[in-house]
Structures are given as structure tokens and as C-alpha cells.
A and B are shown apart, each in its own frame.
Chain A
Amino acid sequence: MSGLPEQGETLAGRGAGLVPAAGAARASACAAEERRVQRRELLVAFGGSVGLFVIVAAIALGYATLGGSQRNTAIVLLMNMVLVIGLQIFSGNSGVLSLAHVSFAGIAAYISAILSAPTLVKGTTIPDAPFGLAGVELPAPLAMIVAVVVTTLIAAVIGLAIARLSGISATIVTLALMLVVFAVLTNWKSLTGGAEAFYGIPVTTNVWWGLGAVFVALVVARLFKASRLGLRVQSTREDEVAASSSGVQVVRSRFWSWVLSSAVCAMGGVLIAHFLGAISPSGFYFTLLFLTLAMLVLGGEYGVTGAVVGTVLMTIVSEATRYLGDGPVVFGVDIPPLAGLSQLVQGAIIIVVMIWRPSGLLGDRELDGLLSRRLLRGTRSAGGRVAAASMETAAADAIVTGEAAAGATATGEAVPETPAATATAEAVPETPAGPGAAAAPAADAAPAAAALSVRGASMQFAGLAALDDASLEVHSGQVVGLIGPNGAGKTTLLNVISGLYAPTAGEMTLNGVSLNGLRPYQIARLGIARTFQTTRLFRELTVRQNLEVAASVARGHRPQAARSAAEILSQFGFEEIADTKAGVLPYGVQREVEVARAVALGPGILLLDEPAAGLNDAESMELVSAVRGIRDREGCGVLLIDHDLHFVMALCEYIYVLDAGRIICRGVPEEVQRDPLVVAAYLGTRGGEAPATAPTMPALGEA
């Protein structure tokens, strides 16, 4: 990137004091700052899990001291909690419902059982066990550790396949997996003893073991959720396309959450084995699956706190129904006569929660979040900026930085004005607004080699040519417009460039590096960032997290262009909404956040799909300055699509016109506006005035 030194200078020159001029120094300062931020976040998350643990421990110990069956109930509560938290790590973060997690608990339980049961017992139950297992007798703790490790490895192998799937397909595979595991446990008689109970397992699990496991599970789950990897997984849950276009490797991040969650479930499984002393395959089947699912769904699968709360509440409900059902009190082994009652309630709870509150009682709220908001920020409401922004929507709905500063003032709070925000606001009037003035010099000054070059891109959809031999170039520091009537193929071209579609023909390069055949996340990591026509934010994540997803990718892959999420937040004036969920923001602000997320990727090329859609004239003109501001700061090339020709003509230095998949015209705004073909494509032709098709036709060939 030849533009980098200037980029650094520009930033320094604009008074963004946070940023040193030299790129390398900046990168390392940025990385150090980020490490500090992340350490703090993880510390807060850790504090939250400790807090949760204290509450759980108080409940469990309080109940256990009642003795007898109550103690067992407390232990069962803790074991179920481990399973639910484990399930949360995968399903909650990735949004993919897994039905196979009880199976991992089952596999681990059996491994630990087989390894630790006395050889004397195994001599009668599984004398022909393979690998000479009948003669092995490990101490229970060692067996448990081996079981968790082996189960995790098995889960990892399976995860290689499952992480590739999303949504319903993934769920169906996990269902199939659960049935396969059950079939194996039931039928591999020489190893498991078959459908009958496998007995003789040393009973070691007590309340303390349970608490220890819950502690580990809580910390792992909560830290994972707060980690960068966890954040990436959550971004894939919110929007897979946007995540991969922000540089997230969807499959890999999903894979790790799968492995981690299986490990925690395996831990729950071994506890169950060493609690019951005798296990059967049906103990890790639909009954346990439904129970843990109901627990997770009730509390809210997006959060660890939700998993804990759901487990506690469901346990209370189960106890109550068990009491009503008046069955024998043999835990987990025998089904009492009215066991149906507790499942009836589980089913009802799932339905009611889905209808009234699909994200559960707590949603993704965490204890530490609730606490830190109260303690650290005083009474400030997180929604303050939203209210302010909504208020303004009536007057001027949004996009630019100046507005955000106004928003901060409007809330009437003492928010220190950051240098960056001021700088942006000042930057606005500096840029010449006249289309002609900006166009010519910038086009001339552009370096000879284009940053982004598309040659002869063609794309077929079911035999229909959406793109037909389209070529264009975008230089660093240049704002290029792509216009054309509805259905001309503009968005298709953007999707081809960002790797969402594989073109049927054509060559694409970024600074000479071929983009052909690259996946969207690879293209994003090379520095092509984009926004979408219909905003695709990570709706359930905060604005800060939205930016952080992209910023963390930039740190890993383009350290010289990376900046911290905090810096982008202040650049766009988002400090006030930093901890607000993106999905609840007014539409105009959402569009702004999406642009900011793209900028957080430290792009060399920025693709904007209809950034002015839904804006009025005044807002569109503000957007003109905003886009130029970004271009100046980042030194990036911008390729944008818009229908609003006023906006495009005012902003862009060079314009390509696409019609029916072909570039029919290109040039500076005046040339394009003068072209009768373009006028005809947009307005149609007046009767008797045939467009001057013939003379301009040659332009097609060279495009």
C-alpha cells in the first residue's frame, strides 16, 4: 500500500492525537492499547463468573445442607448446570442448535466408567472388552481426565465436518449424531455392556466436585464469550455473510466453540457417571436432552448467566412437578410413574418462551454487565444515545460525524469532546463540494496502477446474464461511482468483488494480487471492506463489538492499517452508543455503524452499496463530506453504488454506468450526464427522439 505514509500523516495532521505518525509505531501502540482493553474485559468477565459462582455455590450448599435427597438434588443441579453451560458455549454463541451435546456427556461418562470400574466387576460385565480394557482400573480422577480429553478429541474430529454447516442442516446432523452415539453405546455390547446399566463405577462426585466443575465451566464459558474468538463466533450467529465479509473465518471460529463446548459437556458427563455409579445409554438420550434444552431456552441461550438462571429455575420446576407426580425418588435412574408431567411442563415452557420471549428470560445479559453498568457508569442509561438519536431522526436522520457530536450535546451530559471527533467535524467544510472541482484533479492525480481492477467479469444466474463482461478500476484515494437502473447488476458486481459470488468469467486483482477464487473472509483480510444494501449489522452485538469484530481481524492481518475499536468509535462519534445493541438503533445510525465497521477493517478499498438510500437531500450532502473524510483519512479507494444521481454526481470523481450487466458508459460526472445512453437508461426516451445509440456504441467495446 503506497498510500500508507500519507495516511499516517493525514491522521496526525488532523490532530488525532491518539495516533502517532509512523505506521509501525502506530500499529504497536494500537496493539498494546488493545491488549490492555481486552485484559480489562476478560477481567470483568472473570469477575462476573466468580460472582455467578458465589451465588450458585450459596444455593447449592444451602440446599445440600438439608441432607438426604436434597443433597442429591443440589448435585444434580450442579451437573446439569455444567451441561447447560457447555451447550451454551456452542449453541448460544454460534446460534446453531446442537442436539448432540448430551451424547458427548454420554461418551465421556462411558469412557470414565469403563476405565475406572473395578476389574472384578468388568470381568463379569464386559469380559471381552477391546483393547484389554477389562483389565484396566484407573483411579477415578485420572479416568475422568482421560475421558474428557478423549471425548474432546472425538468431538474435534466430528466438529471438522459439523462446523461447515449452519442453521437447520447443522441441527439435523447433530440429531443424527446423537442417534448414532446412542446406537453405538447400546450395541457395542463388548465395550459398554449394551442397553443395561453399566455398574460398578466408583462414586466420587459430591457437592464439592460439582461446584468445582461449575466453576471451571462458568469461567471457560464466560471468558470465551468475552474473548475475540468468542466475539467472532457470535458475529457468525448474527450474520454469516457480514461476518465473512468482515474477515471472520466462519467455519474455524465455529469449530473452536464446538470443541470447547464438547469438552465442558464431557466434564458434566463424567460427573454424572461418578455420581450415579451405574449408567445406561438412555441416561444420555432424549430425556436429558429435553431437560437441558428447556433449561437453556428458559434462561436465554445467548448468555452464561441465562444458562445458570435457567438451570436453577427448571430444577425448581422439576422438583415441584416431581413432588406433584408423586413418583419414587430414585434420581435419574428410574422413571417415576408420572415422569411425563415434568416433560409436559418442559415442553410447555419451551413453547411459551418461544412465543413470548424467544431469547429467554435474560437474553444475552450477563451478571458482570449488569453490575459494571450500575457501578461504573452511575445512572447513565445505555439507551441515552438512542433516545437522542431518535429525537434527531425527525430533524436530520443521521449519517455523519457532526451529527453524533450534536447527539452527545443533546443528551445534556458532560462527555469530553475527543480530538478525533472534533477533527472529523472540522474536516467536513474543507472538502470542496462541487462535483466538477473535486473530480478532475483527483482522477488525474491517481497513480497509474489501479488498486482494484476488475476485467471482463461475467456472472450467470440460471442462464440469465447478470453481469456481462464488466470491467472497472478503482485507484487508491479515488471515489468511484457505479450507477445504473434497477436490475442492472450493480450489487452483483459488488458481490463478485467481495467474493460472495464466484464470477463465471473475469479477472480481479487488488494491488496486483489476484482475488479470483478467494473466499470472502480472505478478500476482507486483504483489505476490501464493504457495506450492504439492506444493512447487515450484528444486531445483538453492541456497536463496540460490531467494530471490534472487524478491528480484531485488521490487527491480525493488516497491522499497519489497524486501529482500535475505541478509536473508530470516537472518530464516528459513537462513544455514547458504544454499548448499545446495534439492532435497536435508528436505521440511519445503523447505516453509519455499518460504514464504521467497514472502516474498522482498515480497508484499502471500501465498497458501499447504496449508502444514501433513505436519506434526504441535506443528509446526502453530509454523507458526501463523510465519505470524502473517510477516503482522506484512510487513503483508500471507494467504490459506491447509489440510485441517487445527485449524490453520486456530487461525490464521485469517476463513474461507471451499468445497464443489463454491461458497462455502457464511463467517465467523469459531466461526461456521464451528457451521455444520451445514460439518460435513456434512466428516464426512458421521449417519443420520436431515439437515443443516439449508434455514435456512442464504440464506448462499449473499450469499457
Chain B
Amino acid sequence: MTDFLQQVLNGISLGSTYALLALGLAIVFSIIGLVNFAHGELITACGYVMFAGYSVGLPWFVYAGIGIVGTVITALLMERLAFRPVRNASPLTMMLTSLGVSIMIAAAFETFVSPRVKAVPAPDWISSAVHIGGLRIQAEHILTIGVTAVAVLLLLLLLKKTTIGVAMRAAAEDFNAVRLMGIKANAVIVTAFAISGFLAGLAAVLILARRSAVNPHMGIFLGINAFVANVIGGLGNLWGALAGGFVLGFVEVALRAWLPVNLSGFTTGFVFLFVAIALVIRPGGLFSPKVAERV
């Protein structure tokens, strides 16, 4: 029983980071239909900004903050330099562009910083833990869950209560109708990228608190996980992405915990197999109803 609760806690914690990543991806997709393969590279970027901050001797919470700001800026640069020119192109062209961005960012860190792992230490308190019964609750769990809860709440407030947030929800339904309201298309898109960068930055800080190191290729798998979470929830569906993130977190934790030892290496394999099968059966995502295409 305690073991089960422990795994649930781990699942929520891991799922939280996936959910943050998935939400950012979903916001952008819902508005311009871009499947951003380079979303994971935002985490890498955050890691290297934090590494730079750490190198010059700043305290953790300062370089974590700078890391998040740097991530937002990276997201905005991606939008301006790579995605704006292909905004009206086919989904395949947009997707390939983002793949190019993903390759470039990872390669840039590899070329200009180092292909090797760089340390981004987290403060000691993050790995401290309290024991309640048999349950081991780490500060990192509480931080992750807390930050995610606050971020999701803020996002909810933004989307429900601010004009730009409402405009973003509207843009997901009918972009041109939003322009007919006199609302600037670029403002909506730029905000969407800024939010996706901010959420990715938060996720990156939390992930780095666990891993304490950054390497040029760390983003790609996290990005793929965000992707998978979206697919589970139905592409472009925000609440689906959130749920998908948690589902993915739980599945991963469960497989890791209960898969026989000789199969444990297959964890990611099983996750992706599950996703592939799910998609083949329900191409629209697990939580979305089947909708007929309008011709």
C-alpha cells in the first residue's frame, strides 16, 4: 500500500513536468497548427542559461529565474525567425521547420559549448525529504507539484480573465474572426509562444533540480514526451494535454516500478508502443470524440 502511494506521488510529480511541457506545446498548436518539434530544446536552452548563471557564481534561485526568462526569449526568437515565415505553409512544412530548429539548437550547444554534460547544481534542500509512515516525500516533489499547480492556476486565470487570454482561446476556434475584432494576430501568436516558453522554463528548472546537469540532447526526449502527452489528450486540446501529461507520468512510473527487472530497459519502448497503438485506434486522441471531416 505504501509502495503504491509512493508510486502515485512519483507519478504525480513526473506527470506534472510533462503536463507543463504538454500545455505549452498545445497552446501553440491550437492557435497556429504547428507541431513544434523544437519544444524540448527550450528546456535545453534553459539549462544552458542556468549553467551560464551558475558559472558566474549566481545563487540558484537567481539563475533559475534568468533561465526562465531566457527560455521565453528563446521561444520568441523561434517564432520570429523560423516559424513566422512559414506560418501559412502546410503542416508538414511547419513540422519540418521545427525539426530543423530542434536539430540546430541542440547542435549549437554541442558546437559552441560542449557535447559533454555540464553541471547545473540544485540547492541541497531540494533533495531533502520527510518520511510520513513509509512514504518518502522529497522537497523536490512538493516543489514540482506546487509549481505546476500554481502555473496551471495562473494559466487558467490568464485564459479566463484577461483579454489576451480570452483572445487566445478564441483564436484556437477561429483565427480570422479574432482579427475581425481588431485584435492583432501577431500579439496573440507571440503571447502563445511566450507562454509556451514560460511553461517550458518552469518545467526545465524542475527537471534540472532533479538531474543537476544539462547536455545538448536532453531536450529531445522531453519534447517527445510532451508530444506524446498531447497525442494522448488529443492534439491542441489544452485540458487533454494536461491530462495526457499525467497519464504519461503515471504510465512511466508504473512501468518502471512494476515491470520485471529483465524488461525494465523497455520502459520507454512500452510507453511509445502504447502511444502508437492508441493513435492507430483513435487518431484524434484518447479524449476527443470522433469528428467527421467537413468537406
Residues of A with Cβ closer than 8 Å to B? 95, 97, 161-162, 164-165, 167-169, 171-173, 175-177, 179-180, 182-184, 186-187, 241, 286, 290, 293-294, 297, 335, 337-344, 346-351, 354-355, 358, 461, 491, 495, 500-502, 532
Q: In the bound complex, what is the Cα–Cα distance between A171 and B95 (angstroms)?
A: 10
Cβ-defined contact, A340 with B265, below 8 A = no
Q: In the bound complex, what is the Cα–Cα distance between A341 and B108 (angstroms)?
A: 7
B35 sits at the interface (CB 8 A): yes
Shortest beta-carbon distance from B286 to chain A in Å: 13
B1 sits at the interface (CB 8 A): no
For B185, list chain A residues within 8 Å (CB): none
Cβ-defined contact, A164 with B280, below 8 A = yes
Beta-carbon nearest neighbor of A338 in chain B = B111
Q: What would 8 A/B residue contacts be, using CB atoms closer than 8 Å?
A: A173-B279, A176-B279, A179-B268, A180-B272, A184-B266, A346-B107, A347-B102, A351-B101
For A164, list chain B residues within 8 Å (CB): 280, 283
B224 sits at the interface (CB 8 A): yes
Cβ-defined contact, B273 with A350, below 8 A = no
Given contacts A165-B283, A343-B106, A346-B103, contact A286 B220 (CB under 8 A): yes
Further contacts, 15 of them, CB under 8 A, given A342-B107, A347-B107 = A165-B279, A169-B231, A169-B279, A173-B275, A179-B268, A183-B266, A184-B269, A187-B265, A290-B99, A340-B107, A340-B110, A341-B107, A349-B100, A350-B99, A355-B82
Q: In the bound complex, what is the Cα–Cα distance between A186 and B85 (angstroms)?
A: 39
Cβ-defined contact, A354 with B276, below 8 A = no
Cβ-defined contact, A501 with B292, below 8 A = yes
Cβ-defined contact, B108 with A183, below 8 A = no
For A241, list chain B residues within 8 Å (CB): 293, 295
Q: In the bound complex, what is the Cα–Cα distance between A461 and B275 (angstroms)?
A: 30
Cβ-defined contact, B266 with A358, below 8 A = no
In the complex, which of the residues B109, B228, B265, B275 contacts A183, with contact meaning CB atoms closer than 8 Å? B265
Q: In the bound complex, what is the Cα–Cα distance between A350 and B89 (angstroms)?
A: 15
Cβ-defined contact, A97 with B92, below 8 A = yes
Centre residue among B95, B99, B110 by max chain A CB count within 10 A: B99
For A293, list chain B residues within 8 Å (CB): 96, 99
Q: In the bound complex, what is the Cα–Cα distance between A161 and B292 (angstroms)?
A: 20
Shortest beta-carbon distance from A166 to chain B in Å: 8
In the complex, which of the residues B93, B102, B115 contacts A358, with contact meaning CB atoms closer than 8 Å? B93
Residues of B with Cβ closer than 8 Å to A? 35, 82, 85-86, 89-93, 95-97, 99-112, 115, 216-217, 220, 224, 227-228, 231, 235, 263, 265-269, 272-273, 275-277, 279-280, 283, 292-293, 295
Cβ-defined contact, B266 with A340, below 8 A = no
Given contacts A172-B227, A354-B96, A355-B86, contact A347 B104 (CB under 8 A): yes
In the complex, which of the residues A161, A297, A501 contacts B280, with contact meaning CB atoms closer than 8 Å? A161
Shortest beta-carbon distance from B86 to chain A in Å: 6
Q: In the bound complex, what is the Cα–Cα distance between A350 and B96 (angstroms)?
A: 7
Shortest beta-carbon distance from A241 to chain B in Å: 6
Cβ-defined contact, B89 with A180, below 8 A = no
Given contacts A183-B265, A350-B103, contact A344 B272 (CB under 8 A): no
Shortest beta-carbon distance from B170 to chain A in Å: 19
For A294, list chain B residues within 8 Å (CB): 103
For B82, list chain A residues within 8 Å (CB): 351, 355
For A338, list chain B residues within 8 Å (CB): 111
In the complex, which of the residues B104, B220, B231, B280 contacts A162, with contact meaning CB atoms closer than 8 Å? B280
Shortest beta-carbon distance from A658 to chain B in Å: 17
For A187, list chain B residues within 8 Å (CB): 263, 265-266, 269
Cβ-defined contact, B104 with A348, below 8 A = yes
Given contacts A168-B95, A348-B100, contact A183 B227 (CB under 8 A): no
Cβ-defined contact, A168 with B115, below 8 A = no
In the complex, which of the residues B92, B111, B112, B273 contacts A95, with contact meaning CB atoms closer than 8 Å? B92
For B272, list chain A residues within 8 Å (CB): 176-177, 179-180, 183
Cβ-defined contact, B104 with A344, below 8 A = yes
For B268, list chain A residues within 8 Å (CB): 179, 183
Beta-carbon nearest neighbor of A341 in chain B = B111
For B293, list chain A residues within 8 Å (CB): 241, 500
Cβ-defined contact, B104 with A351, below 8 A = yes
For A175, list chain B residues within 8 Å (CB): 224, 227
Q: In the bound complex, what is the Cα–Cα distance between A509 and B53 (angstroms)?
A: 73
Q: In the bound complex, what is the Cα–Cα distance between A294 and B280 (angstroms)?
A: 27
In the complex, which of the residues B90, B115, B275 contacts A176, with contact meaning CB atoms closer than 8 Å? B275
For B93, list chain A residues within 8 Å (CB): 354, 358
For B90, list chain A residues within 8 Å (CB): 358
For A184, list chain B residues within 8 Å (CB): 266, 269
Cβ-defined contact, A350 with B100, below 8 A = yes
Beta-carbon nearest neighbor of B227 in chain A = A172
Q: In the bound complex, what is the Cα–Cα distance between A156 and B38 (angstroms)?
A: 31
Q: In the bound complex, what is the Cα–Cα distance between A177 and B268 (angstroms)?
A: 11
Beta-carbon nearest neighbor of A359 in chain B = B93
